[in-house]
């Protein structure tokens, strides 16, 4: 049965990570980051009602872009930390979709490129390149 709330879905996602062999520290990091997302969206938010604009608003929020220091002040997150937050939320949303809990992955347009497989259309087959020169291997 599909979980209805974001909090329950995220808990099941983190448990799935643990069950599939993810190290505890990694799973704990996912839980911490998804906790920021849950706090921003609300624990009782239905996962089927999350829209791309909700995810984008989270990405732009203080929770995602700023970190709280021990003295209570805020400072901007490092770029790698911010990208990790985006990646972890995206991965959880994709997993919800794979589980059949949501119909579409609610990602902003800037993130859609991570969903679409890179496919070649007919007639766009390219010749292999020579690793040493970058030239077409057939031309040699």
Each residue of 66-118: pLDDT tens digit?
Answer: 999 999 999 999 999 999 999 999 999 999 999 999 999 999 988 888 776 65
Residue 55 CB neighbours (<10 A)? 22
Which whole number is the average pLDDT over 127-136? 46
CATH of 6-113, one of 1.25.40, 1.10.150, 1.10.620, 3.30.450: 1.10.150
End-to-end, the C-alpha distance of the chain in Å comes to 59
d(CA 62, CA 118): 33
Give domain limits for the chain.
6-113
Report pLDDT digits (tens) over 6-45. Answer: 999 999 999 999 999 999 999 999 999 999 999 999 999 9
């Amino acid at each position: 049965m599909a979980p209805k709330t974001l909090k329950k879905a995220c808990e099941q996602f983190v448990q799935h990570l643990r069950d599939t062999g993810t190290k505890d520290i990694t799973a704990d990091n996912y839980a911490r980051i998804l906790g920021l997302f849950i706090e921003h969206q609300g624990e009782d938010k239905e996962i089927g009602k999350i829209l791309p604009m909700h995810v984008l608003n989270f990405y732009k929020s203080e929770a995602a872009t700023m970190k709280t220091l021990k003295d209570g002040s805020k400072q901007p997150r490092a770029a790698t930390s911010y990208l990790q937050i985006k990646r972890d939320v995206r991965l959880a949303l994709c997993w919800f979709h794979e589980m059949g809990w949501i119909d579409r992955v609610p990602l902003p347009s800037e993130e859609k490129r991570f969903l679409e497989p890179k496919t070649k259309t007919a007639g766009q087959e390219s010749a292999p390149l020579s690793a040493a020169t970058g030239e077409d291997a057939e031309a040699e």
